[in-house]
Amino acid sequence: MRLFLLRLSLVTAALISGLTGAQAQTQRVVPESKAQVQLSFAPVVRQTAGSVVNVYASRSEKRQNGAMEEYFRRFFGDNAPGVPRGRSQSSLGSGVIVDPSGLVITNNHVIENMNEVKVALADRREFAADILLRDQRTDIAVLKLKDATNLQAIELGDSEGLQVGDIVLAIGNPFGVGQTVTQGIVSALARTQVGISDYQFFIQTDAAINPGNSGGALIDMNGRVVGINTAIYSRSGGSIGIGFAVPASMVKVVLNSAKGGAKNVVRPWLGARLQPVDGDIANGLGLERPTGVLVTAVYDKGPAAEAGLKRGDAILMVDGQPVDNPDSFGYRFTLKGTQGEAPLTVLRGGKQTTLKVKLTPPPENPKREPVQGRARTPFAGATLVNMSPAVADELQVEVADDGVIVADLEDRSVAASVGFEKGDQIVAINGERLTSTKDADRLINRNGGYWEITVSRGGRVFTTVLGR
């Protein structure tokens, strides 16, 4: 069984597990007669379908200089970078117009690594689109249509008010056949550990969605978008009634960042490391069942430390909303924004207390001071920056007191072919430890044809030797 992201050309596998979080308790009415059951969804479709669009993305690349390719082939062996002439990629997905000015929401994986985007409306008009913001951590991207007028926008609804069993419609462009509407219910809420993005807190639905539906709308019966369809769980790539959507509440966070002119989504920083509460930990804390998250480390001078959070505390709720694991905590904490305070319900010594954590972005201290990997070195195509809480949060790695980290990596570059990855901490070059990008720049410049590079990745440290 596999998990399929719904861009027509992209498939990603992952196992599924998770828990259902608390849902808002609002009044629902069960149909009381056959006539009520036979009522049509057509009015909701007419109200919303014009806001759902097709997204076409492509990328064309040019071949590198032949002499340079041959040099790298001699230096690094058969894994030297090289791009065939005229190589191109393309993908197909869906999107939703959420603002009359031409703002469109889609999935990041629909346009990932693409440099040209076109959008086709339900009325068959087509527009080129600029990419305003890509957020890999939520798998949401924001586009801006060029020179578009008379657009039908749709409102982002309240995904926090959804309940399991609510009727929803999925609208998108499956398999490129054209706009399609399917109907189902909300099968589960707060699905985590799905393996799609960093903020795993998904709406699960049995409304039929298929490849090409990525970025399409999950609509409630009030005609509002409550989620952006993102992935399905499937053996073959076709729908078997298990689909996942990013909640509208998280989509609003990304959209508001784009409206404010930001190129990245700014999130609040806790300044602590968390882990799930399992059965043994729950017994030790005196909890009736595993719930909440355990604080395993608190960083000096961070918001958690200033609020009085300590190692061994269990965070049970964020502003009154229960959290069951680090994914659900990250979701709830991110929704609070970066202004004011967030009350955390904390269990310490068998007693519950409330601590107010200041909502602030992670600090960029020291400054990044980027260094570009130089030609004819293993770092060509890599951007190295200084370690800071902001960089660590952006790349989802552990904060270190100092160091140099790979913040960006060009596709098919020398650095990529050597094996570097975004988020790698470059610990040392030829036995000399790196504490800043100034060290990296100096050591890369003075080096000859022999490289001994020590890297820290995901808690594992290893050394790679390269040379002629």
Catalytic residue status for 206: no
Nearest to 449 by CA among 79, 81, 76, 66: 76
In contact, 422 and 409? CB cutoff 8 Å: yes
> How far apart are alpha carbons 207 and 239 in whole angstroms?
9
CA angle 19, 223, 95 (to 5 degrees): 75
Tokens of 87: 């190589």
In angstroms, the Cα distances linking 372 to 272, 377, 467 are 31, 11, 20
Tokens of 85: 């002439």
213 annotated among ligand-binding-site residues: yes
436 annotated among ligand-binding-site residues: no
Catalytic residue status for 328: no
178 annotated among ligand-binding-site residues: no
Catalytic residue status for 109: yes
> How far apart are alpha carbons 322 and 347 in whole angstroms?
13
What is the DSSP code string of 100-141? TTTEEEEEHHHHTT-SEEEEE-TTS-EEEEEEEEEETTTTEE
Select which of 197, 214, 328, 413 is catalytic.
214
- Count Cβ atoms within 10 A of the Cβ of residue 405 and give its class: 0-12 exposed, 13-18 middle, 19 or more buried: buried
User: What phi and psi, each to the nearest 5 degrees, are found at residue 92?
Assistant: -135, 135
In contact, 228 and 246? CB cutoff 8 Å: yes
214 annotated among ligand-binding-site residues: yes
> How far apart are alpha carbons 12 and 2 in whole angstroms?
8
Select which of 91, 109, 220, 234 is catalytic.
109
Q: Which residues pair with 232 in a beta bridge?
A: 4, 243
Amino acid at 121: L
Select which of 99, 135, 139, 439 is catalytic.
139
Catalytic residue set = 109, 139, 214
Going by the annotation, the residues of the binding site for substrate are: 109, 139, 212-214
Going by the annotation, the residues of the binding site are: 109, 139, 212-214
